[in-house]
Each structure stands twice: as structure tokens, then as C-alpha cells.
Structure 1
Amino acid sequence: MKRACGFVVFRWMNGQLEYLLLQASNGVHHWTPPKGHVDPGEEDLTTAFRETEEEAGLKSTQLKVLNGFQSKISYTAWGRPKESVYYLAELRDAGAPVLISEEHSDWCWAPVERACHLVSYAEMQGVLREAERFVTGAAPDARG
């Protein structure tokens, strides 16, 4: 089974919680948080940091990982089973620039309902809603 890891990256902008989504430049041009395949021998969290920097230009020093959040989804991609693991990270500087790779054609910051509309897949919507509950409920001090 293919395995991918990434971050649900969020920021507070003008008192509103927003999530970073990237639009794939191939296939059906779907929207997802930054994620990518785990390299042989690589730790999941290391993959999440590497892929977020490669795909969105955000370095590990720009992210504050929230402990206690991990969400896994399983699905079929290109006819093969795949599992994606998402961690949760706050962008320390809400105005930091996002620099997408050639793998993506667009990006945006979106509140949870708009983000869920963009991602379209129920499993990914569940991850975003779970992240929203974690940030606003279980970790009210996350606003830092």
C-alpha cells in the first residue's frame, strides 16, 4: 500500500481560522493540503515537513506542530490502495508567502466550509473538520 504524509496547515487571519489547500496540476486538479509519498526509511513527520517545504515553500521553522492530532484516510488512487496521514501545524507568521511547486497549479487559504467544498472528497472533508474541532475545541490555546 502506498503511504503519504502531510500537514493540515492553518493560520489565524483577522480572527478567522483558515486552511492551506493546494490544487494539483494533473489529473482532476483536486485540492488537498500539502502531502507526499514517504521515502524508504523516512519517518512520517519528516515526510510531512519535507513535502510541505517542497510543495508550498514553508520550512519546518515556520510551522508549529500541534501535538495530539493525527488523521488517517484510506482510499484508492490510480487503481491502487493508498493511505494518507495528516498532522496539524500552525503557520507561525500568518503572512508568510506560499511558493507552490510545479506539482500544483494554484493555492488558497480557506475557512473550513469553503475548504471542504474545494476538496470535495468526503474523507478529506472529515480530516479538515476534525482539524477545525481540534484547534477550536480541544486546543483553544493553539491561537498562541
Structure 2
Amino acid sequence: MSSSANELRASGFVIFRMVCNQIEYLLLQTSYGKHHWTPPKGHVDPGESDLETALRETEEESGLRKMDLHIIEDFNKTIKYNVRGTPKTAVYLLAELIRLDTPVKLSDEHQDFKWVPLDKACKLVEHQTLQEVLKECSTFLQQNRI
């Protein structure tokens, strides 16, 4: 993991579930700023892997734990963008919610959550790069018939 000292790095999961043969994605609405919608993700702590960060942040932000998820090993999407002039790298991994009745428990960082199909997810998510991540997840899932 080579990243410059001033570069921000984050990691998270795009979490999906199957409901009546339709894929729905979990999006969380932030309780700060513009109240944007995003999958659970957060800053990578020193010595932490992207997977460890994604698991920690998912549990902190949604209450979903590793035992609630089936991690899709061969999906990994990295996007790069700037946050207030500082380069940021975000790594998105993919996971399926195993038990549909598992409740989402939000942290103070978020005020709402929704399970939505791809088209609605792309409308809620304002950033084009994140819309592309969701579309790549959908394509991956269709091609692999997960």
C-alpha cells in the first residue's frame, strides 16, 4: 500500500441484498454537510487493510457485522478524487447481506438508510464516480449470477 503522507485513503463495502430476484443496495444518508448518500465507508487507520477498514466502518455505521455478510472476494473498485484540495482514494469492496431480517443500526454519522435498486441508488448518489462503482457492482453481479 503505497500512498503519500498527505493522501487520504478510505475503504468500504457496497452491500447488496436479493429481494424477489432483484438486487437492492444499502445507502446511508449522512447527518452532516449536504446529507449525501453513500455506502458505508471510512478512513483507513494505520496498519489496517482495506478489508479490515471496510468491516470496521460497516459495523460502526450500519451495525452490520462480518457474520451478517458474504464478502465477494474478487470485486474491488478504487476511485480517486479530491476533498478540499487533498487527493483521496476510496476502495469499495462488495458484500451480500446474508439474512434479510438483519436490522440496520445507524451511528450518529448518518440520519437515514435505504435499500434501493440500481436506478434509484444512482439518483440518490450524486457523485458520478460512485454511480459508476454501483453500476460496475451490478454488472459484476449479473455476469457472475450471484
TM-score (norm 1): 0.95
Q: What corresponds to 1:30 in structure 2?
A: 36
- Of all paired residues, the percent bearing the same amino acid is 51
Decide which of 47, 69, 74 is 1:41's aligned counterpart.
Answer: 47
Q: Secondary structure at the match of 2:74?
A: coil
Q: What corresponds to 2:101 in structure 1?
A: 95
Structure 1, unmatched stretches of 5+, are none
AA at the equivalent of 2:107: S
Q: Secondary structure at the match of 1:42?
A: coil
TM-score (norm 2): 0.93
Q: Secondary structure at the match of 1:66?
A: strand
Output one character per residue of 1:97-120: Cα deviation in whole Å (capped at 9) or x when no partner.
Answer: 100100001110000010000001
AA at the equivalent of 1:81: P
AA at the equivalent of 2:75: F
Q: Secondary structure at the match of 2:112?
A: strand
Q: Secondary structure at the match of 2:91?
A: strand
1:96 Cα deviation (Å)? 1.1
- Number of equivalenced pairs: 140
Report matched runs for 1:80-119 at 5 Å.
80-119=86-125
Structure 2, unmatched stretches of 5+, are 1-6
- RMSD of aligned residue pairs (Cα, Å): 0.8
Does the alignment pair 1:67 with 2:73?
yes
AA at the equivalent of 2:98: R
